[in-house]
Structure 1
Amino acid sequence: MTVSQTQSIPTQDELEKVLGDDRVSDKKYDRYYKPYFEYLYSLPAGEVATDIELFDHAAGNYSRRTYREYLKHTIEYDPALELKVAGYVYHVDSFIEQNAVKNNITDIGKHINVVQQTCLNTYRESKTRYSERLIHYLRKETETEYSGFLNGMVDSDVVDRLLDTYEELLADRVPEKVTSMNQSGKNMAGSVNEELFLLALESAGLTRGSDFEQISSKGDTGDIKVYQKSGGNPFRIEAKSSKNRERGEFGVGAVDSPSGLLGFFDDAEEIVGAAGKLDNECRVVYLPPGTLADIARSDHSVYSMTSQKTGQRFLRANNEYGVDMKHYHAHGDLPDKPLGHEGKYLTATWGK
């Protein structure tokens, strides 16, 4: 997916080639796609729209679910529009890639922590902008609809005070609506993290579906499997967000297959306290280089420990996860890492 280089409204034929004939009929094009593209492409640089505004520009009286479905397809055609719609993430992969583009990052795996933080910050800002934009839009619509009628009977100052009161009520209630949106911040963060872990493997040169896969079967263990070219045991990764204790006990350590733990762990003390147990269960733990540096300062014995299963570096920067898995895919083992390998990711160029 790439950023759109043009602001021209796509024709129905152009949409059909990308989305498929079944998604783009004459009626769907006129009622949904064309109004969405027209409105989003008309926004000034840096400006965003809310879903409510876009739904109001569509033709016909349909459910919000229907409107949102076609908005999702609109963004599928032009992923650059993902960041033009505030408050929602319609395609996690394009959301990540557009945020990487904003930072001029081409290798998501090596800059995985920078991209993750950029995505979270973008989403938080988007929710705030959603509230502000929606309040402004609803006031404007109310003023347009009722001001002329009221001004014939009520003093204009009274109308302004009524609208001010209305806006205050919106300011109280809209944020509550934002926090309960379908893609809540917590769910969105989990989705972004999961996709980042997969994109890191693709950035390293592995192919989704053949070289590795996301585990979806309840009968299987772990979150990601990386296969060996030779057909040997896959490497199983259990992926978590910021806390090791999420979802209970570490699961892949119970299977007869090489395994590791991967995440954006931000609590050095938690990792130090669990290091012995984790070493019994898996071969490697990948964590942000900033957290690894915190461990180096607080407990050098844990920081420098080697895996009892491999004799190699146990705690590693999660920036190295993709290239390590590529090595495992080719050779059936992990490359070793020198002590302090995380240092290069702590510079101003790399970030944390």
Structure 2
Amino acid sequence: MNGVNLLKSLRQQGQSVWLDGFERSLILTGQLQRSIDLGLRGLLSNFTCLEQPIRAGSYDRDFRAIVHQPDINARSLYEYLIIQDMQLAADLIKAVHSQTHASDGFVNLDLPPQVAFDTQATLTEAHRLWQSVGWSNLMLKIPATAATLPAIVQLIQDGINVNVTLLFSQVVYEQVAEAYLRGLEILSMQGKSVSEVASVASFSVGHLDAEIATQLQTAGQERVLRELFLGNVAIAQAKVMYQHYQSIYQSDRWQSLAHLGAQPQRLLWDITSIENDHFRTQHYIQSLMGESTVLALTPQIFQEQKLYSPSEADLTVGVDVAHQMLNNLEQLISLETLADRLLTEELQRSQDAYQQLLSAIEQKRQSF
């Protein structure tokens, strides 16, 4: 992993880079530490990135140590492995967390996907995993559903860091931002510090644009219209979200929390599902540069950083045009309906990936 040019450019714009898709070998080979030294500021785990190393034998030593203990099943084995990874990574990146006064330097862990429609189950799993990992620079990934929004308020109130994932909608983003503010306000009313809890709201850029392309193709829209929207709708949505973000954190309501040391809930641009094409990736990186935001990159994009040379922040440019583009698209496609469907599909995809991972773990368990 190299490519200091991109990291320096983004940091100059006030943007952090987090790596989405790390596993144990990055820690053991020293690659993770070298990346942190270059300026990497966060890590996100996911179910898919763990499956191949498990099948390839990278975790065999761990299996031998625990597989024959009583009451061990695939889920408990998974948690044993991922908690160790989280603890090792959190230790490595803790210095970033300290240097940035708890605004960066996080490791991100998914909750079991089946709890996404159950408020109490979300709270129970979040508290259990938070205590199991035991590092203050852990951030729990929780999808933005109707059931999880009340849980997010409670978790922020409890001082637990939250990465609210699978945002596709401006309306839902506003609800997520409100949940964060409300959690902080309750925390402060209890006389507790608000300065040590953090949150990001993650917008799945690539998934939205891919679905827009499919919808326009299905609708038989003429080529010129497809070319107008393709690769631009998610960026337009991001600009509108960022405008709302700025309005929140310039408000009197926020200033009273900021005075107590509260941190803004940054927007995270997840471009990990963008097709592997230099021009398209460059297009998204350039267009999504903005102060106090986070960019999530795959290991492959991170390794190719020197291919990208963004110049200046772009999120505040052309916001009126972005609003108009979204209004025009609404004449063809209901963005809220599309967002609801994408959320459902991505939750199912997460569930499938989780089950596939557990299957790989069970196969490995039986081989010992």
TM-score normalised to the size of structure 1? 0.32
Q: Which has the higher contact order (CA 8 A, sep 6+)?
A: 2
TM-score normalised to the size of structure 2? 0.31
More strand per residue: 2
Larger Rg: 1
